[in-house]
């Protein structure tokens, strides 16, 4: 049950923290605490050895008030209902904060993609899509990649849904390969968005990115693109972590070489420059630096870790990397400029929105056009949030949550009890 999940309680604590700051009837917040709809499907898959294995797939549609649900699909052995519900809730606030015509949703399948063959992965994905088809649609719920899924997964979902409905429907899903109606700029969108937010925060802090120091946890899609973009701006990336360990190198890492290593070996393990500098997670987050980017997974920074942070900017590339306990400390730490997740990593859903629009119109944009529009939307959301924070005397997370939650709550309030 999702109610028992610590991550769900963390998301709930964030919602509760802004309830009294928003002048709307209490009943509307009751509705926001629980998802509108949760669909669980069983997925029988014929494995390569001839046996049939059962998997469970979940799609949580937290709110469909502002438009079709939008949110990733996660494949992980640890995925659970509370995590997916919390992530769906964050998607509602995120889409609202950046003013996208979407509600919030998220999905997950309990499986270990690293231990599955390509064929098994394809059969799992296609059967899940078939089971979930009555509940999704380009105007109902639009999925996207998340941890453990990728462009190929999205292509299979697009193909299965189109085959099932008999209509070519690329806008059923975003994060597709460019060759099958994907958009240019989607792969780099989240990491670039993180860095556009860091640029705005740096202006507010009087920090120059050239010769600044950065530490990035996670070297997957978000972490590696962020590290590369910071490196390209002259920042020295002195800390990188992935599932194989936490690595510090005060003279700075050769980020492009690490990306090349990752593409070949799937982890940083064995990269020639890093072996001597392996540290614990606590030491990693306590590293003195200008910019700290948690870009791996949720609940990485607890109260203790937050107290020991020595950065100027904390940019939440991951969803929910700070626990509620950490938030208490971060609110007191005026020396740290926090860019909250629903703003910081919104580049991915912004460009997903562009992909959806292009799919509906069958009219495709250049990479430059995508990037210009991404910058326009995310920089505007950053400024709106920071100006609101200053006007009200709020920290950045409270300001972002107030803006995001208010939009969804107000739409529910004005429309009535159905949506």
**CB nearer to ligand NAD: pick between 74 and 412:** 74
Longest Cα pair distance anywhere in the chain, in angstroms? 63
Residue 226 CB partners (closer than 8 Å, separation 6+): 191, 194, 195, 216, 293, 295, 315, 317
**Contact (CB, 8 A) for 92 and 403:** no
Count of positions on this chain that bind ligand NAD (CB under 6 A): 22
Find the binder of ligand NAD among 88, 297, 400, 405 (CB under 6 A). 297
Alpha carbon distance 350, 189 (integer Å)? 8
Which residue is listed with tokens 């519900």? Answer: 85
Find the binder of ligand NAD among 146, 325, 355, 395 (CB under 6 A). 146
Alpha carbon distance 34, 3 (integer Å)? 9
Residue 103: its H or E element: strand 103-110
What is the phi-psi region of residue 222: left when phi exceeds 0, alpha when psi lies from -120 to 50, beta otherwise?
A: alpha
- Determine whether 106 is an active site residue: yes
Letters for 261-280 (x = contact with ligand NAD by CB under 6 A, - = none) are --------------------
Q: Could you say which residues in the range 198-217 bind ligand NAD, by CB under 6 A?
A: 217
| Residue 213 beta carbon to ligand NAD: minimum distance, rounded to whole angstroms | 19
**CB nearer to ligand NAD: pick between 296 and 330:** 296
**CB nearer to ligand NAD: pick between 28 and 326:** 326
Bridge partners of 278, per DSSP, are 247
Stretch in the footprint of ligand NAD (CB under 6 A) among 22-30, 44-52, 289-297, 302-310: 289-297
**Contact (CB, 8 A) for 186 and 355:** yes
Alpha carbon distance 289, 104 (integer Å)? 34
**CB nearer to ligand NAD: pick between 242 and 290:** 242
Q: For residues 364, 104, 399 and 189, what is the CA-based torsion angle, rounded to 10 degrees?
A: -30
- The residue from 36, 70, 94, 106 that is catalytic is 106
Binding to ligand NAD by residue 221, rule CB under 6 A? yes
Binding to ligand NAD by residue 182, rule CB under 6 A? no
Find the binder of ligand NAD among 218, 239, 359, 404 (CB under 6 A). 218
DSSP string, 53-81: EEEEEEEEEEE-SSSSEEEEEEEETT--H
Q: Report which residue's Cβ sits closest to ligand NAD.
A: 220
| Residue 36 beta carbon to ligand NAD: minimum distance, rounded to whole angstroms | 21
Find the binder of ligand NAD among 73, 155, 222, 409 (CB under 6 A). 222
Alpha carbon distance 223, 235 (integer Å)? 15
Find the binder of ligand NAD among 60, 142, 255, 295 (CB under 6 A). 295
Bridge partners of 171, per DSSP, are none
**CB nearer to ligand NAD: pick between 239 and 348:** 348
**Contact (CB, 8 A) for 111 and 124:** yes
Alpha carbon distance 340, 346 (integer Å)? 10
Hey, what are 113's tokens? 């993609």
Find the binder of ligand NAD among 10, 287, 345, 386 (CB under 6 A). 345
Binding to ligand NAD by residue 188, rule CB under 6 A? no
**CB nearer to ligand NAD: pick between 86 and 209:** 86
Cα 264 to chain centroid distance, Å, stands at 24
Stretch in the footprint of ligand NAD (CB under 6 A) among 53-61, 164-172, 317-325, 330-338: 317-325
Residue 7: its H or E element: helix 6-19
**CB nearer to ligand NAD: pick between 66 and 224:** 224
Binding to ligand NAD by residue 343, rule CB under 6 A? no
The residue ranges that bind ligand NAD (CB under 6 A) are 146-147, 190, 217-223, 241-243, 295-298, 317-319, 345, 348
**Catalytic residue list:** 106
């Amino acid at each position: 049950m999702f109610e028992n999940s610590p991550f769900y309680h963390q998301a709930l604590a964030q919602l509760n923290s802004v309830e009294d700051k928003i002048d709307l009837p209490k009943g509307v917040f009751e509705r926001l605490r629980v998802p509108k709809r949760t669909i669980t499907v069983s997925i029988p898959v014929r494995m390569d050895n001839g046996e049939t294995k059962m998997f469970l797939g979940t799609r949580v549609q937290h709110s469909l008030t502002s438009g079709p649900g939008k949110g990733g699909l996660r494949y992980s052995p640890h995925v659970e209902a509370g995590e997916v519900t919390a992530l769906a809730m964050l998607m509602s606030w995120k889409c609202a904060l950046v003013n996208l015509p979407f509600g919030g949703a998220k999905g997950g399948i309990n499986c270990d993609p690293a231990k599955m063959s390509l064929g098994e992965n394809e059969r799992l994905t296609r059967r899940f899509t078939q089971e979930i088809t009555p509940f999704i649609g380009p105007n109902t719920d639009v999925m996207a990649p998340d941890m453990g899924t990728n462009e190929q997964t999205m292509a299979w979902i697009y193909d299965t849904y189109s085959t099932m409905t008999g209509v070519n429907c690329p806008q059923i899903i975003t994060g597709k390969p460019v060759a099958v109606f994907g958009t240019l700029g989607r792969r780099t969108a989240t990491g670039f968005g993180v860095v556009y937010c860091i640029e705005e925060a740096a202006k507010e802090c009087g920090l120059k990115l050239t010769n600044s120091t950065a530490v990035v946890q996670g070297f997957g899609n978000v972490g590696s693109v962020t590290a590369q973009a910071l490196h390209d701006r002259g920042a020295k990336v002195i800390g990188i972590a992935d599932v194989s360990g936490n690595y510090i190198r005060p003279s700075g890492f050769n980020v492009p070489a690490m990306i090349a290593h990752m593409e070949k070996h799937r982890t940083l393990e064995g990269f020639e420059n890093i072996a001597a500098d392996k540290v614990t997670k606590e030491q990693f987050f306590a590293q003195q630096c200008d910019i700290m980017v948690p870009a791996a997974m949720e609940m990485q920074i607890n109260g203790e870790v937050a107290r020991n942070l020595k950065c100027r900017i904390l940019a939440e590339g991951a969803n929910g990397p700070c626990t509620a306990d950490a938030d208490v400390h971060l609110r007191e730490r005026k020396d740290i400029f926090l860019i909250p997740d629903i703003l910081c990593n919104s580049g991915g859903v912004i460009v997903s929105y562009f992909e959806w629009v292009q799919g509906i119109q069958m009219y495709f944009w250049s990479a430059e056009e995508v990037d210009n529009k991404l910058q326009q939307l995310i920089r505007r959301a950053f400024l709106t949030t920071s100006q609101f924070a200053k006007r009200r005397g709020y920290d950045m997370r409270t300001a972002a949550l107030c803006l995001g939650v208010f939009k969804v709550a107000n739409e529910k309030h004005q429309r009535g009890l159905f949506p």
